[in-house]
């Protein structure tokens, strides 16, 4: 049996004339009719790029030199940006990044939903585009040839970890400690048995969760404790699945001790969360987003409000502060418990949390039978197509949809419009500066003309 030979890639960089930008932030050029996807290149630029992979219909390249630059190009604020996969748009100005995300949302609405909002809102932007990221999963790998440990994100379109000693977009309590973290793991007996470190930051405290594949030696535990004390970090271990995560520094006397917190001061709320819970990565933008969602729903006294995919109550509790009766529904039972804990912590008795399968029809549930005046929905990347098909059963006159995927938002918006709602306004939110991630928000109102 003959073995197919791997195509030999040219060693010398090739000249690329970049025409446009792909949805994943790569420049698109063409050579003899074949598409070239070029990392680090912008529309209108001429660059020299090194071939990374070559396929039958397209090539993938990485920019090594810019011969003619676009006005949107800027110096990258991080020295590792060209290689690290944690960011993909640092070479693009902030205004250009926002325009790119707006264009992406517009194109998806047109392509997947065949609709357009009556009003495009000004983008919700981050005050801080560096040091904003409070949640991340960092890979860890021991490189035998170098006898050293790498900690960070994967290289662009690669399984290799990027060799970094700091991260400009992570919260400085984490981002400035990458090198000490590398040295810590490299000094441990388990230096090659810790595949990842989850990081989570609250307003007051930051935490690291070490995935330890084997029981740690006493010496390794002591080193972790000393690291936590020296850098004022909470230290957790995860010997097996997520349910095994536990804090080893500082010592825990009761389960609630393992919580971090963030404030939503506009609503006089303190939100508790476990480091492994889902929370928004950008605290500043989250506050702006919550304000906008509550403003758009415009809760009136006596109204019933439904919050779907409510998590630990990030929207539910601010809505409850506005009065009425709020029902938060979540598919993860642990988050239902967390939501109830946060309601109790903040003295709210006009909110209920329920667990439910949010992939099917739940209109027959006891908590749903009275209907709702307003609805907020914040689904995962897969969206909520099935749910949108029967939201009309609740009779809500206003719905706010918060999305982390413009394709599924556009698809679901089409379903909503076909089922009697108008897409009143929509816009992007810059939750993840320097990346192609598009977070957006949309307002739907019942269309009287459709009954």
Residue 451 pLDDT > 50, yes or no?
Answer: yes
Tokens of residue 271, six digits: 């939100």
Residue 401 pLDDT > 90, yes or no?
Answer: yes
- Whether residue 388 lies in the annotated active site: no
CA distances from 316 to 129, 313, 444 (A): 27, 5, 19
Is position 388 annotated in a ligand binding site?
Answer: no
Q: How many domains does the chain have?
A: 3
**For residue 260, is it within any domain?**
no
Q: Kindly state whether residues 356 and 284 are assigned to the same domain.
A: yes
> Distance between CA atoms of 7 and 185, rounded to whole angstroms?
38
> Distance between CA atoms of 86 and 153, rounded to whole angstroms?
6
The burial class, CB within 10 Å (0-12 / 13-18 / 19+), for 363 is: middle
**For residue 265, is it within any domain?**
no
Asked if residue 26 lies in contact with residue 41, where contact means CB atoms within 8 angstroms, the answer is yes
Is position 280 annotated in a ligand binding site?
Answer: yes
CATH code, domain carrying 316: 3.40.50.150
Q: Kindly state whether residues 173 and 215 are assigned to the same domain.
A: yes
> Distance between CA atoms of 128 and 347, rounded to whole angstroms?
32
**For residue 328, is it within any domain?**
yes
Q: Kindly state whether residues 108 and 222 are assigned to the same domain.
A: no
Q: Kindly state whether residues 408 and 292 are assigned to the same domain.
A: yes
Is position 97 annotated in a ligand binding site?
Answer: no
**For residue 308, is it within any domain?**
yes
Q: Kindly state whether residues 147 and 39 are assigned to the same domain.
A: no
Q: Which of 201, 310, 388, 404 is catalytic?
A: 404
Is position 65 annotated in a ligand binding site?
Answer: no
Q: Kindly state whether residues 158 and 188 are assigned to the same domain.
A: yes
**For residue 261, is it within any domain?**
no
CATH code, domain carrying 217: 2.40.50.1070
Instruction: Give the structural domain span for 292.
Output: 101-127+280-450
Per-residue pLDDT tens over the stretch 187-233: 999 999 999 999 999 999 999 999 999 999 999 999 999 999 999 99
Q: Using alpha carbons only, how large is the chain's radius of gyration in Å?
A: 24
Tokens of residue 316, six digits: 């539910």
Per-residue pLDDT tens over the stretch 334-360: 999 999 999 999 999 999 999 999 988
Q: Kindly state whether residues 110 and 146 are assigned to the same domain.
A: no
Is position 37 annotated in a ligand binding site?
Answer: no
State residue 430's pLDDT score: 97
Per-residue pLDDT tens over the stretch 83-121: 999 999 999 999 999 999 999 999 999 998 789 999 999
Residue 4 pLDDT > 60, yes or no?
Answer: no
Quickly state the pLDDT bin for 3 (edges 50, 70, 90): low
Asked if residue 431 lies in contact with residue 280, where contact means CB atoms within 8 angstroms, the answer is yes
Per-residue three-class SS string for the chain: CCCCCCCCCCCCCEEEECCEECCCCCEEEEECCEEEEEECCCCCCEEEEEEEEECCCEEEEEEEEEEECCCCECCCCCCCCCCECCCCCCCECHHHHHHHHHHHHHHHHHHHHCCCCCEECCCECCCCCCCCECEEEEEEEEECCCCEEEEECEECCCCCECCCCCCCCECHHHHCCHHHHHHHHHHCCCCCCCCEEEEEECCCCEEEEECCCCCCCHHHHHHHHHHHHHHCEEEEECCCCHHHCEEEECCCCCHHHHCEEEEEHHHCEEEEECCCCCCCCEHHHHHHHHHHHHHHHCCCCCCEEEEECCCCCCCHHHHHHCCCEEEEEECCHHHHHHHHHHHHHCCCCCEEEEECCCCCCCCCCHHHCCCCCEEEECCCCCCCHHHHHHHHHHCCCEEEEEECCHHHHHHHHHHHHHCCEEEEEEEEECCCCCCCCCEEEEEEEECHHHC
Q: What is the mean pLDDT of residues 155-160?
A: 91
* Side-chain half-sphere CA neighbours of 415 within 13 A: 17
> Distance between CA atoms of 108 and 410, rounded to whole angstroms?
6
Is position 16 annotated in a ligand binding site?
Answer: no
**For residue 108, is it within any domain?**
yes
Work out the mean pLDDT of the chain and round it to a whole number: 95
Q: Kindly state whether residues 228 and 375 are assigned to the same domain.
A: no
Q: Kindly state whether residues 297 and 442 are assigned to the same domain.
A: yes
Residue 450 pLDDT > 80, yes or no?
Answer: no
**For residue 84, is it within any domain?**
no
Q: Kindly state whether residues 105 and 148 are assigned to the same domain.
A: no
CATH code, domain carrying 18: 2.40.50.140
Quickly state the pLDDT bin for 6 (edges 50, 70, 90): low
- Which residue matches tokens 């585009």? 129
**For residue 423, is it within any domain?**
yes
Is position 330 annotated in a ligand binding site?
Answer: yes
Q: Kindly state whether residues 300 and 425 are assigned to the same domain.
A: yes
Q: Kindly state whether residues 159 and 120 are assigned to the same domain.
A: no
Residue at a domain's end among 207, 228, 250? 250
């Amino acid at each position: 049996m003959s073995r197919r030979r791997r195509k030999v890639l040219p060693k010398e960089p090739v000249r690329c004339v970049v025409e446009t930008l792909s949805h994943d932030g790569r420049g698109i050029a063409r050579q003899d009719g074949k598409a070239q996807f070029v990392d680090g290149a912008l529309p209108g630029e001429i660059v020299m790029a090194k071939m990374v992979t070559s396929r039958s219909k397209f090539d993938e390249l990485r920019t090594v030199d810019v011969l003619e630059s676009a006005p949107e190009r800027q110096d990258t604020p991080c020295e590792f940006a060209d290689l690290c996969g944690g960011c993909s748009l640092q070479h693009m100005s902030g205004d250009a990044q926002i325009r790119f995300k707006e264009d992406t949302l517009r194109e998806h609405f047109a392509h997947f939903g065949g609709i357009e909002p009556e009003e495009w809102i000004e983008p919700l932007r981050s005050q801080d585009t560096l040091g904003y990221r409070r949640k991340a999963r960092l890979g860890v790998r021991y490189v035998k040839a170098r006898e050293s440990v790498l900690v960070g994100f994967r290289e662009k379109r690669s399984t290799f970890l990027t060799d970094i000693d700091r991260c400009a977009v992570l919260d400085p309590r984490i981002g400035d400690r990458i090198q000490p973290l590398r040295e810590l793991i490299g000094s441990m007996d388990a230096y090659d048995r810790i595949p990842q470190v989850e990081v989570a930051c609250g307003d007051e405290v930051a935490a690291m969760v070490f995935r330890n594949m084997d029981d740690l030696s006493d010496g390794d535990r002591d080193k972790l404790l000393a690291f936590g004390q020296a850098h004022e970090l909470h230290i957790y271990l995860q010997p097996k699945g997520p349910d095994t995560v536990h804090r080893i520094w500082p010592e825990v006397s009761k389960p609630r001790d393992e919580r971090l917190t963030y404030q939503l001061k506009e609503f006089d709320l303190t939100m508790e969360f476990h480091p492994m819970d889902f929370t928004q990565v950008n605290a500043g933008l989250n506050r702006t987003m919550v304000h906008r969602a509550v403003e758009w729903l415009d809760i009136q006294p006596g109204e019933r409000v439904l919050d779907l995919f409510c998590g630990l109550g990030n929207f539910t509790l601010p809505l409850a502060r506005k009065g009425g009766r709020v029902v938060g529904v979540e598919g993860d039972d642990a988050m239902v418990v967390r939501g109830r804990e946060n309601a109790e912590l903040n003295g709210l008795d006009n909110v209920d949390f329920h667990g439910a399968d949010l992939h099917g029809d739940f209109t027959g549930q006891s908590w749903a039978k009275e209907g709702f005046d307003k609805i907020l929905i914040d689904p995962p990347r897969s969206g909520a197509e099935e749910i949108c098909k029967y939201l009309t059963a609740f009779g809500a006159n206003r719905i706010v949809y918060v999305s982390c995927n413009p394709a599924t938002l556009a698809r679901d918006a089409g379903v909503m419009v076909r089922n009697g709602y108008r897409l009143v306004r929509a816009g992007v939110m810059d939750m993840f500066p320097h990346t192609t991630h598009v977070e957006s928000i949309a307002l739907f109102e019942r269309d009287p003309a459709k009954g």
